[in-house]
Structure 1
Amino acid sequence: MTTPSKKILVFCDGTGLDGLIASDILCDQGASKATNVLRLSRAVKPFRTDSTGRKIPQITFYQSGVGSDSDFNGQGFTTAKLIQAYGRVVASKIRDAYTFIAQNYESGDEIYLFGYSRGAYTARKVAGLIDRIGLLSRRDLGQFFDICSRLQKDPNSVARPTTEIPVKCVGVWDTVGSVTVPKTLGGIVTTPVPKEVLDSLGLTDCSLPNCVKMARHAVAFHENRDVMRVTLWDAPTVDGDNRVKQVWFGGGHSDIGGGGEFRELADITLFWMATEIDSLIELDHSMLWGSHIIPPKGWRGGWGAAQPYNGNAEDMATRVFGSTTREAQITGRIATRLHASLRQSPQPSNPRNMLTVKTIKGTVPKYVELTAGTLEHDLMTKWNSSGQAFHPESPQSVFTRLPATFLGGALDVVGGVVRVSADIVGGVTSALGRLWG
């Protein structure tokens, strides 16, 4: 096997998420708002040492999510919510990620792309562009948008590259579908519901580019909001074939990608992804372990037993758009795998519009078992050997911080547990940023 010159790793975060201005310390359990994209990017070491002792540079680029733009004080722009909702700057995110790779790539380098939510969509589009047009030279990077425009209008007008540039791995969390643009009249937004643009740039959203050698997708089993439709790869998971693994985990969208207040389930998907790439990338395991949840006293469940987020029931801003479970995609023609942790998933405390393994109709997909000695297996062992259990937050702890949060959120009582849901009060515009991932 040829030793790569260097490894280029691009991490694309979800909508409205910017780890560069997050105050969380990632090696601390208090890092509740850090997404898995951010946590994994920070765990990448500067070098990987090969079997000969040679140090291989690992060049990392973290990209904040759509609508996360801020000033030097870390304050977001007032238009950020609209930008989040409509995804109008997805094109610039794709351009920036693609340009970073093209600017730094040399023959023999390894390319890795990671993303969450709309950032996952960005990462996948970048891989598709690399497959479709190759990597432009530094001299030709100014033609990027011209080429993209031609691809959008007539894909056949752009020649395919003569030499394939391989993408070593694409690893994503719960890819949120397509590019959306606002419906306007004379430059004025006429409706909060955007128009959907499928298969942008002439690249099929569901296709896995031929240049991608390894594809990993962690998918939310319990997500039930119609506006959070997942985009699966149409490449099946085949036993014995290591190229594609598309695995369903317990939880809603933010349970899978992280960034929410409760991250017990997000830890499981993070450690799964880290396990999948651990032999390829030099990771600082202490960074991963330092920010994982340690079960507090009183837990009677164990690993994988945290309550999944019921987005349709708990997020009032999305109820108007309806609910849709992902059962059809789980039992569809694409060979699906359920993560072993789903066996421990409890009956939802708020079962409205919630799918469970027991309610799946038809053929139940296979489970993906854990391998002893891996990071994710060690995480399971630590949880189950602690003899403890996790209660997300006691009512007492909520009320101790009520004064600081009440004006920015609303109390939502779900399953007897008081939770604070931010951004519910503030109108549809401020909430739309959370609807389109």
Structure 2
Amino acid sequence: MAVLAFFFLRLIHAFYSIAVFASSCWKRFNFIPPLPLTATRRRIPKHLAVIFVPDHDIHPDITHACLLESVYRTIDWCRELGIEKVALYDSEGLLQASATTIHHHIAQPCEATVEHEYPPTPPLSEPDSRSVSPEHIPEVNPYTVISLPHEESKVGRRRHTTARNSHGPMTLYLISSSSSKQAIAAAARSICKLELPHSKVSTDKFKLSVAELGQRLEGKDGLPPPDFMIVHPMSPSKYNRTPLELHGFPPWQTRLTEIYHNRHIKRHAAWITWILPQRFYSARWPVPLTEMEFREALDEFSGAEMRFGNKTSVRLFPIKMSRRTGMILWEYTWDRLHVILSENSIRCTPRREDKRRLDDKRREASFTSVLTQDRLLYTNTLRLARTITNEDTRSDPPIQQIVFYQSGIGTERNLYDEYVDATTGGTLADKVEEAYAFIALNYFPGDEIFLFGFSRGAYTARMVAMFIGAIGLLDRRDMDNFARIFIAYQRLAKSDDEQGMFFGYLISIERQLLTDELHAFTKPDAHGLQRVNTPFSIKCIGVFETVGSLGLPDELTLDLKKATLIFGFPDKVLGGHIERAYHALALNETRRDFDCTKYERARQGLSKGQILKQCWFGGCHSDIGGGYRDHDLADIALIWMAANVQDMLSLDMEYLRSVPSPIAPWGSQKPHNPRTGLASVFFATKRKLPLSIDNITNETIHSSVLEQAKLPSALVDAIAAGHTVVEDPLPLEKEFKAKWIVEREPQDVSLTPAKKQFIQDIQDHCIIA
């Protein structure tokens, strides 16, 4: 039986590999090019920032020439689009050293002026113990500002084009981190000279406000936060597999920035990749910023809402800053965040009706349909992301709140990602590595980490929390070993299920080898664990409906557990490094593949004062995490989560109050039926409800459940007997319940407008006897 199961699993993996290969071929041969540069887009950034990441293994002269070529291209494209401000950044100081060359190049068609501003906010670095007194302040190299005046130029650069379009003025910032360490000291010196001109005044009488320091650092005209940022690694795609890192870009300017990071830059023709080996077309040469990549980035910025929580598996990692302003590290925001949806549909400007233009129209029409139809399908993770403000002004000085947002498994809009990847979790390892690397590479002692997620995104968030507790936060050198660590933990978790199937002594030997391999990263004095050497390295984790199994569905594996737990990591025990944990659970979910994984609190957490709350709500899986058009039940779960974290995070209550659109009284909406469509053939299960008080899981019933028309009889008896705790609503929940007013009727999504009109026509023309 074991051999048969092993053979069947190998067969399933073979079919899965074929599906992955077929999907990659389909994507390669059906690649849809981005919109032309001059095409009509819904929006373009007013302030664009471009980070150029040089390759240190390439000759400096070649890198410098490639960098200048990318800069010239970027300036031309931005002039064509009418972008008002462009900030160009490199961490090596090459741009500032080439300011004169850049000025002469762009001054050929127009008269450009060069001036100097105050240095920007410095990037994070290790604490500097040197004195910052005025007499020891070195000279600071300011960043360069080039102003391009109004200009007349041709549109589209076509030979037959005679129409002319005016280009508005543009401001170009050349930024480098070469002088950033002295920026804080220079600002402090300037403020001291203004406030304490006569010297010999006690320093405790001198107070430096965050606003004043920020004004000095940003300069007299200020360097406003860019709307959009492109991170362009200049390494070839073969070597460009590092996660997102902003390489010291002034964090003061990135609180509301959407970021585009293309990890695989070079796009070769399909026939080249089939005929020639990669070494013939991916030589070790720097890669300039191409127009294709630039246009792709603009399309991402223009249609960012398309991937904003349309599915049920997304996750969110807010980081709350607890350091002083001069040492802020987490001044980063992830792409597709802080985007305000516009009510205006996208217009198609009539031009030549060629095939390329028709493709553009179809793409723009798809943007319009998503914007107008999917607004009610946002998940609670997305809504919580929009609720978190940029600063917590309740403390002095204010604490920066930075959000890292990542789309979840199976959220891409294509057949393969929605079904194959969503059911197998094939991209889980990449997403865990990307999220963990972002935290590890940018963490600074004193930062507070919050993790939120829904469904498989909740599973992924819990896995990231598990790694932080097991190996801490690795530095840049040790991050090269993360894939090996991930695989080792995966094999350890899976080996527990293999006991008794094969030779037990071989499995024990393998476990010992894996344990020895991980010892360098899990020992108490390991560098990663020392970086987060605090009682609680994670401030809070809040999840909606954690899906416990990732892998092939039970219906395809004949209930073979080994095929379902492809990734292992059940992680039911709440780690002692997590201070607070909140878990929202669905009372009416019946699909076995969506069974929840509840937390269990260990004795270590109880002794440290760890807080765990797991609350049951009425509804199915997506009734708790969001995704339905009628989302009363999801709103109640969101308000519960917000009420529990509002003492730690500053929330935008005005936005949160705009989320509910009730169709029924508080808590009385009928739960959706999860077993519809393809899910109707899934194996069914009954969730084990809390029929007694348990300090290990600490499960409660939300008070809104009592408003449901139908409840399980066992739960009703347990509540009546006092064996199950009904959680009292928090003040924020009471406020929302008091203002809960039914505003609209539930939408009948089964009938399209055309069908409704057809039925109405029949009723108007038929006589009922």
**So what's the TM-score if we normalise by structure 2?**
0.43
| Alignment counterpart, residue 257 of structure 1, candidates 613, 625, 640 | 625
| CA displacement 1:144-188 (0-9 Å, x = unmatched) | 1011122233452313243345100000001000331589xxxxx
Deviation at 1:293, TM superposition (A): 1.4
Does 1:342 pair with 2:705?
A: yes
Does 1:178 pair with 2:549?
A: yes
Does 1:382 pair with 2:739?
A: yes
SS at match of 1:180: coil
Alpha-carbon distance in 2 for matches of 1:55, 1:21: 21
Higher relative helix content:
2
Deviation at 1:319, TM superposition (A): 2.8
| CA displacement 1:230-273 (0-9 Å, x = unmatched) | 000112899xx661000101110000000122200000000111
Answer whether contact 1:110 1:167 (CA < 8 A) is retained: yes
Say how many residue pairs are matched: 363
| Alignment counterpart, residue 279 of structure 1, candidates 640, 647, 664 | 647
Deviation at 1:391, TM superposition (A): 4.4
Alpha-carbon distance in 1 for matches of 2:411, 2:338: 11
Which structure has more relative contact order (CA 8 Å, sep 6+)? It is 1
Question: CA separation of 1:359/1:212 partners in 2, compared to 1, >3 Å: closer, same or farther?
Answer: same
**TM alignment of 1:354-369, pairs within 5 A:** 357-358=715-716, 364-369=723-728
Which residue number in structure 2 is paired with residue 121 of structure 1?
A: 459
Moved more, 283-292 or 316-325: 316-325
Does 1:311 pair with 2:674?
A: yes
Alpha-carbon distance in 1 for matches of 2:415, 2:730: 46
SS at match of 1:224: coil
| CA displacement 1:329-352 (0-9 Å, x = unmatched) | 66595442001111111228xxxx
**TM alignment of 1:213-252, pairs within 5 A:** 213-235=579-601, 243-252=611-620
Does 1:46 pair with 2:412?
A: no
Which residue number in structure 2 is paired with residue 205 of structure 1?
A: 571
Backbone CA RMSD of aligned residues: 3.8
Q: Which amino acid aligns with 2:574?
A: L
Does 1:132 pair with 2:493?
A: no
SS at match of 1:59: strand
Which residue number in structure 1 is paired with residue 730 of structure 2?
A: 371
SS at match of 2:451: strand
Which residue number in structure 2 is paired with residue 322 of structure 1?
A: 683
Which residue number in structure 1 is paired with residue 440 of structure 2?
A: 102
Structure 1 portions without partners, runs of 5+: 70-74, 184-189, 349-353, 407-437
Answer whether contact 2:551 2:565 (CA < 8 A) is retained: yes
Q: Which amino acid aligns with 1:208?
A: L
Answer whether contact 1:15 1:84 (CA < 8 A) is retained: no
Alpha-carbon distance in 1 for matches of 2:726, 2:392: 32
Alpha-carbon distance in 2 for matches of 1:359, 1:320: 31
Question: CA separation of 1:110/1:222 partners in 2, compared to 1, >3 Å: closer, same or farther?
Answer: same
Alpha-carbon distance in 2 for matches of 1:208, 1:122: 14
| CA displacement 1:302-322 (0-9 Å, x = unmatched) | 20010012323xx14223222
Deviation at 1:367, TM superposition (A): 0.5
User: Higher Cα Rg: structure 1 or 2?
Assistant: 2
Answer whether contact 1:30 1:291 (CA < 8 A) is retained: no
**So what's the TM-score if we normalise by structure 1?**
0.72
Q: Which amino acid aligns with 1:108?
A: G
| CA displacement 1:168-212 (0-9 Å, x = unmatched) | 0000001000331589xxxxxx86988211772xx4421111110
SS at match of 1:222: coil
Structure 2 portions without partners, runs of 5+: 1-250, 256-307, 316-334, 344-371, 492-510, 759-769
Answer whether contact 1:175 1:232 (CA < 8 A) is retained: yes
Question: CA separation of 1:291/1:138 partners in 2, compared to 1, >3 Å: closer, same or farther?
Answer: same
Q: Which amino acid aligns with 1:344?
A: E
Answer whether contact 1:327 1:360 (CA < 8 A) is retained: no
SS at match of 1:305: coil
Question: CA separation of 1:366/1:227 partners in 2, compared to 1, >3 Å: closer, same or farther?
Answer: same
SS at match of 1:179: coil
Q: Which amino acid aligns with 2:659?
A: S
Alpha-carbon distance in 2 for matches of 1:308, 1:182: 24
Report sequence identity in percent. Answer: 32
SS at match of 2:403: strand
SS at match of 2:739: helix
